[in-house]
Chains A and B, each alone.
Chain A
Amino acid sequence: MKRPALTGFAMACVLFLQGCAGWQSALDPKGPAANELAWLIWFFTALCALIWVLVMIALAAPLLMRPRAPSEPLVLNAGAEHRKLRVVLIAVAMTVSVVVGLTLLSFFANRTLAAIGSGAALTIRVTGHQWWWEVRYEDATPNRILTTANEIHIPAGEPVRLLLTSTDVIHSFWVPSLSGKLDLIPGRINVLDIKADKPGVYRGQCAEFCGAQHANMGTFIIAEPRARFDAWWNDQLRPARSPASGEAKTGEDLFLHRPCVMCHRIGGTPAGGTVAPDLTHIASRRTLAAGTLTMSRGNLAAWIADPQGVKPGAHMPVMELNGDELNAIVAYLEGLK
């Protein structure tokens, strides 16, 4: 390769590595569990690459060397036989020690992962649905239990215990920047402990194929300083804001008299459905429909007018609303901060 081509190639490689950073990357760890895993990934990759290179050299060497005169097949040469046997034995011993060594490494990494959750003060129940996440903050005081969807706020620097389950099919919870993945299985509770070292937003994704909209089943972990987190929790416990304008009031009435009320809950109103995301503070979330659309008035309208166009197969049906009705409902939901 010529000089400029080589430089170009190297630069492209560096650019590609750039893709490994960001809010959803196992190679850019932001918590102790992900750190441990990233270290394992790099070590395994480096060691295996080294072994591959050594094996290739060992294979290439005899090919490149000048062929020796063929030895007489019937003449015994004990010395050469022994040397060959020793080479084979050394190779076997090295293979065994590499395999055992790597197994031990991952065993100790697993031990570290299991220890992360010790002393977790906060327990969050995450339930997978086709194709969104129900998030429930457990508390000893019943009126502090909080149910929300798709966004998981946690205090930064503290271990948090997640109880994972599902109501329909198997999903898998994976926030690469913070931890490894763990399945959500109907009728079973799996425990995953996570910890974010620093405040930030980390994206997660369902990692077990679960149907038509598996790709659009994202989640966000939002790590905040403890004080901000507590303020957020208290704020979310409020019932929904009452509509601020006449249009929003109409929107509330429509919401309560149309199919919406069959599936969704809005705290402080008669809407008590539990089969779809809780909308009490929908406007305080960053995205709609499990990370499919960013939150905005236009996207809210787009989603409600035609959920099957945005997320075909999602379990929210297309409803018959005219333009005024749609606007009113959007005005109402937009105020649910």
Chain B
Amino acid sequence: MTHGAVTLLLVILALTGCQREERDTRPQSALGSGEQPTPVTTLEPGGQRPSPADNKAASFEANAFHLSEGKRLFGWFNCSGCHANGGGGMGPALMDEKWLYGSSIESIHATIRDGRPKGMPSFHDKIPDDQIWELAAFVRSLSGNVPSSAAPQRNDDMMPHPSENRLPDAATLGKSP
């Protein structure tokens, strides 16, 4: 009896792992406008309204599928042409702890969407919004800023750094908390 209950519990626990890779391939507003939904009022039951961007950021960073999509698009959209595989080239390195425009996923999203003055092009019309979030989440994984349980695995080609899921956690600098 207890054996059955324990097995059941373990199975249910294992199932929670499925969320790690939940594949959401459609943006919330297919055929809609690309802008963030503008709140009509700031009055919300319960006070503070959570910013929609925050939800997205969190769900993209903890999701192995979105991170690996970001990794694929980083090559497909030729980010690697200027940033190499994160080590930097004509554009700055993305795998170090230095951020010119902030390390939050929102500011990286803004960098990719709107561009930056010293040579980072704007991809506003060129990359659908969800894919920009995927790229931003992947860029953060290059310096160990996403959960290693979700970060992408090794590349087929030679890389200047270990695979993203083996980088030291940026928050604790690799030391266990």
> By the criterion CB–CB under 8 Å, are A320 and B33 in contact?
yes
Question: Which residues of chain A are near B89, meaning CB under 8 Å?
Answer: none
Answer yes or no: A275 CB below 8 A from chain B CBs: yes
Answer yes or no: B128 CB below 8 A from chain A CBs: yes
Question: Which residues of chain A are near B126, meaning CB under 8 Å?
Answer: 258-259, 261-262
| Binary interface encoding of chain A residues 293-324 relative to chain B, with 1 for a CB under 8 A from any of its CBs, else 0 | 00000000000011011001101011111100
> By the criterion CB–CB under 8 Å, are A263 and B25 in contact?
no
Question: Which residues of chain B are near A319, meaning CB under 8 Å?
Answer: 128
Which residues B93-150 have CB closer than 8 A to chain A?
125-131
Answer yes or no: B6 CB below 8 A from chain A CBs: no
State the interface size on chain B (CB cutoff 8 A).
21
State the interface size on chain A (CB cutoff 8 A).
23
Which residues A235-286 have CB closer than 8 A to chain B?
257-259, 261-263, 275
> By the criterion CB–CB under 8 Å, are B26 and A320 in contact?
no
Answer yes or no: A186 CB below 8 A from chain B CBs: yes
Answer yes or no: B27 CB below 8 A from chain A CBs: yes
| Nearest neighbor of A319 in chain B, beta-carbon distance | B128
Question: Which residues of chain B are near A320, meaning CB under 8 Å?
Answer: 27, 29-34, 128-129
* Residue among B34, B77, B125 making CB contact with A257, cutoff 8 Å: B125
- Shortest distance in angstroms between B95's beta carbon and chain A's nearest beta carbon? 23
| Nearest neighbor of A312 in chain B, beta-carbon distance | B25
- Shortest distance in angstroms between A57's beta carbon and chain B's nearest beta carbon? 50
Question: Which residues of chain A are near B125, meaning CB under 8 Å?
Answer: 257-259
A-B CB contact pairs (8 Å), 15 listed: A258-B125, A259-B131, A261-B126, A262-B76, A275-B76, A306-B30, A309-B26, A313-B25, A317-B25, A317-B128, A318-B25, A319-B128, A320-B30, A320-B32, A320-B129
Q: Which residues of B contact A (CB under 8 A)?
A: 23, 25-27, 29-34, 72, 76-77, 125-131, 156
